[in-house]
A = this chain, B = another copy of it.
Amino acid sequence: MNMSTRIRRRHFLVGAGGTAVLGASGASVAILPAIAQDAQGGSLPSYADWKNPEAMVIHTELTLETVRDAIGTSVVTSNDVFFIRNNLNPPSEEVVQDRDAWEVSFEGVANPRTMTLGELKTLGLETVATIIQCSGNGRGLFDHDASGAPWRTGAAGCAVWSGVPVRAVAEELGGSVDGARFMTSTGGEELPEEVNRDEIVVERSVPLEAMENAILAFEMNGAPVPIAHGGPLRMIVPGYYGINNVKYVRTVAFTEEESTADIQVSGYRVRPVGESGAPDQPSMWDMKVKSWVIHPLMETTSGRVLIYGVAFGGTNPVERVEVSTDGGETWEDAEFTGPDLGRFAWRVFVLPAELEPGDYTVTSRATDSQGNVQEQTTEPNHRAYDYAGWDRLAVGVTVV
C-alpha cells in the first residue's frame, strides 16, 4: 500500500519514534514519522463484533483501540467506536438476559447486604459524562519497552453514563463504617480456580471521597451498558483512569485498607523503569490534564484549516487550550465548541488557521482550572502509563 492510498483511508499518525530536534524555543519536539496506522477490520472478537471495524485497531482480543480521528467532534464517543481494554475475558451473554436481576453485595456499611439492580434503581438516578481512559493510553509514544498494548491516543473515549449514585446506596445501608478510607469494587468475571484470587481478580480501591461522584452505571450513551463495556453494571468513578471503573461490578466495599489484589498492590503503580510495583508508589487514580489534536492528520489542503481536538483535566474542568503548528515554538489560544458536559467530560477545541503549503508539526497544550498545564514530555515510567506530553502527541501535517 503506498502512501497516497493510505491517506485516502482512515488512518492516524503516531507522533513517536521520530527524530527529536530542537525547535527555536529550545523545545525538544518529535519530528513526525510517516507512520500511519490503519484500522484492521475483520477480526473483531465475538463479544465486540458490533463495533465499527474501520474505527478499531485490534491489538489483541481484549485490547481494541479507537483510530485517532474516529472519536468525532460531538463530545460523546459513539459506543461502536469506543475502545476496549478488558483485563479478563468478559462474562457470557447470560449476564444481560435479565439485567435487573444482577446482584451486588455491599460491605463496609452499617447494614451490609446484597441488592439487585432492580432494587438499586429505586434509590436514585444520576447521569454523568466522563472520559474513560486506560492507564496505558500513550504507551506507544514512549521509547522504552513496556508490557501492555502500545496504545497511542485511542484508549480513551467520553460517554454519558446513567446509574445509581453510590452515595445514595451507602446512605440507604446506614452509611460507611467508621474508619473507611477507600471504596473497593470487585468485578464479576469468572476466575479460574487454580489461580490465587489476588493474582487475577479485578478489584480496585479508590479514595473514599471519589464515592461522591461515583455511580453504578446501567446505561452508556443512552443504551444498556454493553458487555464489552462492563454491562449489566459498571462502577463509574468520574475522572479516574479506566481500571478504577470496574466492570460487571459484584461487590462494593468501604474499607480501611486498599485491596490486596495484585492490580492494586503492585499493578497500576507509577515508578521508574526497572523498579517493581509497590504500595508506596502513586496509584493510577485521578487523571492528569491532557489534550491532543484529531484534525488535521497527515495531509490537508492549503488555505483555511480547522485544527481541532479534545482536552480534559481529569477531575478538574479544562480551562484553556493552546495550539501550535510549529512544534511548540509559538502557541495560539483555541476556542471550545459544543456543549460543556461537565468537568469530567472532555471538550472539543477548535482553532481556525490559514496554512500555506509546507510541513507542520501540530500539537496542543491544555490547562485545567487549577492551573495545571499539560506537560511537554512525560518521563519514562516502568509500565509506560499515560503519555501526556504535547511533544509526542503532536502530529505531522503536510499541507499541499
Contact = CB atoms under 8 A, between A and B. Distances in A.
B303 A122 contact: yes
B338 A72 contact: no
Contacts of A123: 304
Contacts of A160: 74-76, 338-339
A291 interface: no
Given A74-B162, A160-B74, A306 B125 contact: yes
B342 A222 contact: no
Contact of A76 (B222, B338, B342): B222
Contacts of A348: 125, 127
A203 to B, nearest CB: 27
A255 interface: no
A127 B81 contact: no
Contact of A223 (B81, B219, B306, B352): B81
Interface residues of A, number: 44
A301 to B, nearest CB: 8
Contact of A74 (B72, B73, B222): B222
Contact of A73 (B52, B73, B162, B303): B162
A338 B127 contact: yes
A323 to B, nearest CB: 14
A247 B221 CA distance: 23
Contacts of A338: 126-128, 160, 162
Nearest to A118: B301
A72 B125 contact: no
A125 to B, nearest CB: 5
A223 B50 CA distance: 14
Number of copies: 2
Interface string A206-223: 000000000000011111
Contacts of A81: 222-223
A121 interface: yes
Interface of A: 52, 71-81, 121-129, 160-162, 219-224, 303-306, 308, 337-339, 341-342, 345, 348, 350, 352
28 contacts: A71-B222, A72-B162, A72-B219, A72-B222, A72-B223, A72-B224, A73-B125, A73-B219, A74-B127, A74-B219, A75-B222, A76-B76, A76-B221, A76-B222, A78-B223, A80-B223, A81-B223, A121-B306, A124-B306, A125-B348, A125-B350, A126-B338, A127-B338, A127-B339, A128-B339, A129-B339, A160-B339, A221-B221
Given A72-B222, A74-B220, 17 more contacts: A72-B162, A72-B224, A74-B161, A74-B219, A76-B76, A76-B221, A78-B222, A78-B223, A81-B222, A122-B306, A124-B352, A125-B348, A126-B338, A160-B339, A339-B339, A339-B342, A339-B345
